[in-house]
Amino acid sequence: MMLAGATNAFAEPRSDTSVAERQEPAPGRVERSWYGWQVLAVDGAATGLFITAAASRSRPVFTSGIFVYALSAPAVHAFHARPWPGVGSLALRVVAPGLLGLIGYATVSCRSDYADEAQGAECTDTRRTRGTLGLIVGGVIATTVDASLLAFELRPVRRAGLVDEISPYNVAVMPVLSPSTLGVAARATF
């Protein structure tokens, strides 16, 4: 199988514009692109770790969940070259659950002079439960705000081409058949 000359099959695009012109951004035009699904995906992984930790009562898995929850969404922002939303995401993920957890814990007033030890233990359990509920609500709020408000980027609008209207990433695989050549040619644009 000879692939010589296979790239010539792609030398002439089928439109009036060249490949380079179709891939250049239109001057001054940008569009908002949402990547919040990536934030939700990594938060789903953290949630899975939290559920696993609760089911197995594993402190290392719980600690891993905390690190994944706190650091993975800011890393997603960093991968999109948006450091300030990453800093905001980290602050939001620390402050919202912490603050709401403290508020939940503080909503239960326990006296220190319980005559019955069971009443004191019940009060402590109630505090712990409300504090945990505050942490969960704060985490849900932080995830929602992060994915819906912070996870946007501006991208240049590409000129319409053969496939560019659907995706800026194109892959073409084509058989090459001629009297002297039999093979497959591939072209990709990323």
Same domain, 153 and 138: yes
Same domain, 18 and 33: no
Does 151 score more than 70 pLDDT? yes
Give residues with Cβ within 8 angstroms of 5, minimum separation 6.
176, 178, 181
| pLDDT score recorded for residue 157 | 76
Query: What are the structure tokens assigned to 48, written together?
Result: 């899975």
CA distance 176 to 9: 8
Same domain, 121 and 184: no
Number of structural domains, the chain?
2
Q: Classify residue 121: in a domain, yes or no.
A: yes
What does the pLDDT look like over 61-99, one tens digit per residue? 999 999 999 999 999 999 999 999 999 999 999 999 999
Parent domain of 129: 29-157
Q: Classify residue 164: in a domain, yes or no.
A: no
Same domain, 95 and 187: no
Tell me the CA distances in angstroms from 3 to 9, 14, 50, one per residue in order: 11, 22, 53
Strands (E), the chain: 25-34, 152-158, 170-177, 182-189
Q: Classify residue 162: in a domain, yes or no.
A: no
Same domain, 73 and 135: yes
Q: Classify residue 86: in a domain, yes or no.
A: yes
Q: Classify residue 40: in a domain, yes or no.
A: yes
Q: Classify residue 181: in a domain, yes or no.
A: yes
- Find tokens 């009297």 and name the residue: 179
Percent of the chain with pLDDT over 70: 66
Same domain, 17 and 80: no
Same domain, 99 and 181: no
